[in-house]
Amino acid sequence: MTAPRALVVVGAGAAGVTTAETLRRQGYDGRLTVVGAETRPPYDRPPLSKQVLAGRWEPDRVRLRAPEAYERIGVDLRTG
């Protein structure tokens, strides 16, 4: 059986991003798109309310990955 040439991961949270990275690590080389409802790039939710809103972290610190990380592994990140 041949792997599909295009996959879509629905959900751009920690699980979706990890799924995309795992697919690449395991050799999937087809088109890979991660879709998320929010307009911002994927971020870690718990620290948003605990560290960022309390003023202990800068907002950029909650990003799951830098924007170039998605490009580097060939993931088309679609937000919004």
Q: What is the pTM of this model?
A: 0.83
Predicted confidence (pLDDT) per residue in 22-69, tens digit: 999 999 999 999 999 999 889 888 887 788 888 888 888 888 999 899
Q: What is the per-residue pLDDT for 62?
A: 87
Question: Higher pLDDT residue, 13 or 48?
Answer: 13
For 43, 51, 52, 63, the CA distances from 47, given in Å and listed in that order, are 9, 5, 6, 10
Q: What is the per-residue pLDDT for 48?
A: 78
- Domain 6-79 falls under CATH 3.30.1960.10: no
Q: Could you state, in order of their start, the residue ranges of all structural domains in the chain?
A: 6-79
Q: What is the per-residue pLDDT for 2?
A: 72
Query: 41, exposed or middle or buried, with CB in 10 Å at 0-12, 13-18, 19+?
Result: middle
